[in-house]
């Protein structure tokens, strides 16, 4: 039997394999809310311009509301023979209200219908992701305020470089996520045009009001070119590109959580909520949530790559290749949403081990740059010469197996007579971070001020910087 939705041209039904490759209802059924919303807006517009009677419009709207209720109640039967969500909804609508259902498709095509549905879906997903990003940012801000003075090593090449504060490190991810939020907001602004009314590709001879449906669906305007309206998938590609960058940021942080929670580093402890044990080694606490977040970037980037390869060779306008846009997008957006939720949970309840952080910050001559800077400021020595002098001091420490703070003033003078006892004031990690007061630096006052700025931006409420605790207790990471 031919397909009753488009079978007038065909005398027999599709081969079973054709039906298998052609059907999309297995994944595009999740578009039902957007599909029904678009159909209601379209029917309302058709009645307003005189194409539908009020009676038909009311029957269509009531029938669509009934279909939505069935789907949400789990009583709706999806048919693979009807291919997609659009034909499944329309078929059920006809069973409910009769011939009036056939008038719903006046002045539109499945081409502009699916383009509209997908834009609405991606827009909803972007709103959810942006809210999740803001929640993670606020969680990071809160933890940064708690750790505004906690000393830890800053790394380059994963080698100790200079001491920083844990709060400063956490705030770096707030900045990254802020850019992610901005990219999603930009993508949302560009996608917010309505393809509905483009019909198959050329527009329609019916006197429709595309601005009316655009307004009803929350779009800023109708798409300006019917060919582009049905064939554009830039909005998905841009969203997936932004999603891949965001996932990469989460992956970088997840990698740090894996490293920091290892026995070798011991900077943090992750809770039971986001770790698992071993089937054979009872001592193990595996950071599985962080590892899975780290891995998600692969499938999210893969989704972008898959879709851009699909699109790169397609002539205008619609080709069935474009059916491949949804599964990858659904999976990628679901994966990013889950990753954001998991990262927020881990950040909220991880426990820093401040003693271990500070102890690690001290090793590796992390205040060597402070010594060089002192030579420049106090002894008026050119930086390149100061760098060389400091290198000789480090070599002396390595010979004796001590840190820079273990050198006496005589030791310093043996390398360069211009050094005096004031040098000892810059050798502690606390002094090092406190001195980094340049804009964007790690000084606790800077971190507190930036955290307050972000808290205000994220909550819409005025926020004051947290008070800086100054203690002698180096074990707590306080400033001496």
**Kind and range of the H or E run holding 156:** strand 151-156
Measured distance CA(247)–CA(20) in Å, rounded: 33
Nearest to 374 by CA among 358, 361, 387: 387
Q: Which of 354, 371, 375 is nearest to 478 (CA)?
A: 354
Residues 6+ apart with CB under 8 A from 315: none
- DSSP code at position 276: B
The angle subtended at Cα 128 by Cα 138 and Cα 198, nearest 5°, is: 145
* Catalytically active residues, by annotation: 157, 278
> What is d(CA 61, CA 59) in angstroms, rounded to the nearest whole number?
6
Whether 198 contacts 115, CB under 8 Å: yes
d(CA 379, CA 222): 68
Residue with tokens 């420490």: 397
Q: Residue 178: how many CB atoms within 10 A of its CB?
A: 16
Residue 316 DSSP label: S
Contact between residue 472 and residue 480 where contact means Cβ atoms under 8 Å apart: yes
Which pair of tokens denotes residue 320?
A: 């069935």
């Amino acid at each position: 039997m031919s397909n009753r939705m488009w079978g007038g041209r065909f005398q027999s039904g599709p081969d079973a394999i054709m039906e298998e490759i052609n059907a999309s209802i297995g994944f595009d059924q999740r578009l039902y809310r957007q599909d029904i919303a678009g159909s209601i807006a379209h029917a309302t517009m058709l009645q307003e311009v005189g194409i539908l009677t009020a009676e038909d419009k009311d029957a269509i709207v009531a029938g669509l509301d009934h279909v939505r209720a069935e789907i949400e109640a789990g009583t709706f039967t999806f048919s693979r023979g009807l291919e997609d969500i659009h034909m499944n909804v329309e078929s059920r609508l006809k069973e409910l209200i009769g011939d009036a259902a056939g008038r719903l498709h006046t002045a539109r095509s499945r081409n502009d219908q699916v383009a509209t549905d997908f834009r609405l879906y991606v827009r909803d997903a972007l709103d959810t992701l942006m809210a999740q990003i803001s929640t993670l940012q606020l969680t990071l801000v809160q933890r940064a305020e708690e750790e505004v003075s906690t000393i830890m090593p800053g790394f380059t090449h994963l080698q100790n470089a200079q001491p920083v504060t844990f709060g400063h490190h956490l705030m770096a991810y707030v900045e990254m996520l802020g850019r992610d939020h901005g990219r999603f907001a930009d993508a949302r602004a560009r996608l917010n045009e309505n393809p509905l009314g483009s019909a198959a590709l050329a527009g329609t001879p019916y006197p429709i009001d595309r601005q009316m449906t655009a307004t009803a669906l929350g779009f800023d305007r109708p798409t300006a070119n019917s060919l582009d309206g049905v064939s554009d998938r830039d909005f998905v590609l841009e969203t997936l590109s932004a999603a891949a960058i965001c996932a990469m940021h989460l992956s970088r942080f997840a990698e740090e959580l894996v490293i920091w929670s290892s026995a070798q580093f011991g900077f943090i402890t992750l809770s039971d909520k986001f770790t698992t044990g071993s089937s054979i080694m009872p001592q193990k606490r595996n950071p599985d949530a962080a590892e899975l977040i780290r891995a998600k970037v692969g499938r999210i980037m893969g989704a972008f790559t898959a879709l851009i390869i699909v699109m790169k060779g397609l002539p205008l306008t619609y080709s069935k290749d474009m059916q491949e846009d949804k599964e990858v997008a659904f999976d990628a957006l679901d994966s990013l949403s889950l990753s954001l939720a998991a990262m927020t949970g881990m950040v909220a309840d991880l426990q820093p081990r401040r003693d271990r952080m500070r102890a690690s910050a001290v090793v590796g001559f992390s205040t060597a740059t402070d010594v060089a800077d002192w030579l420049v400021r106090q002894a008026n020595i050119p930086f390149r010469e100061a760098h060389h002098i400091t290198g000789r001091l480090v070599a002396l420490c390595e010979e004796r197996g001590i840190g820079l703070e273990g050198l006496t003033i005589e030791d310093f003078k043996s390398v360069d007579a211009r050094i005096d006892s004031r040098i000892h004031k810059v050798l502690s990690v606390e002094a090092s971070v406190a001195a980094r007061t340049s804009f964007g630096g790690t000084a606790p006052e800077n971190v507190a001020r930036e955290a307050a700025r972000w808290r205000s931006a994220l909550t819409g409420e005025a926020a004051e910087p947290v008070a800086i605790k100054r203690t002698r207790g180096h074990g707590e990471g306080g400033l001496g």
